Homo-oligomer: A and B are copies of this chain.
Amino acid sequence: MVDESTKNRILQAAGPIFADVGYEHATVREICGAADVNVASIKYYFGDKKNLYLETVRQARNMRAERYPFPQMAAETSAEEKLYDFVSALLRRLTALQAAPWQVKLLMRELMDPTDACRMLVKDYFQPMFDSLLGVVDQLVEGPLEPDKRLKAGFSIIGQCLHYRYGNEVVNLMVPPEHRAAFEVEQIADHITRFCLSGLRGYAADSTKEIRQDRGPAAEHPSEP
């Protein structure tokens, strides 16, 4: 049933390895060892390592795309609930990344540190998610939002989520052990959702108010050396 061809065995072996250690740290010898294949096969089937990586990313994208045509939310679900679902699903994917399938790991790697032409597919993998999020945002504010504000609101939401992945190390250092229990996915999702809901509500409202009193360009840090 499964494709046991040499070429495919290489791809199957390369996926998890690239996902775990990244392009640079992955060696063709390790990949070929895992695939139980001679090193020369890479030249034979893929030309070189870079090309193998590209095909691996492509494969990961396709596998995910057919597995997840991003979750359709029922129309009757409230926008608030949709937001929570989005946030919680994203958080879950990000923080459970340790145990995530290699396809997700690999795509995340590309998201954080895009290589070459792959950013094209980063785009067509993540854009749909983002658009669906923006749809929820639209429902949450009364009246249409200017396009750039719409985008910024979206970034604010996913920024808060992604921080628990990007800044994972730092978060752990800053949360004292006795409060560690309050940082489970559900509770973080709950916080972010509330924060964003009330953030969005007040958002359009006071868009006129000035934050800073006029005191010149002060409060700037001294210029860098």
Contact = CB atoms under 8 A, between A and B. Distances in A.
A26 interface: no
6 smallest beta-carbon distances between A and B, as pairs: A198-B202, A159-B163, A199-B199, A148-B182, A159-B160, A152-B191
Given A101-B224, A130-B174, A163-B155, A149 B211 contact: no
Interface string A154-185: 01101111111011011101110001001100
A216 interface: no
Contacts of A170: 111, 114, 122-123, 126
Interface residues of A, number: 80
16 contacts: A85-B219, A89-B219, A104-B224, A122-B169, A123-B173, A123-B174, A126-B170, A127-B173, A151-B179, A152-B183, A152-B192, A152-B195, A153-B195, A156-B163, A158-B163, A198-B199
Contact of A156 (B85, B182, B191): B191
Contact of A183 (B68, B112, B148): B148
Contacts of A20: none
A84 interface: yes
Oligomer: number of copies: 2
B194 A198 contact: no
A149 to B, nearest CB: 7
A201 B122 CA distance: 36
Contacts of A219: 71, 73, 77, 81, 85, 89
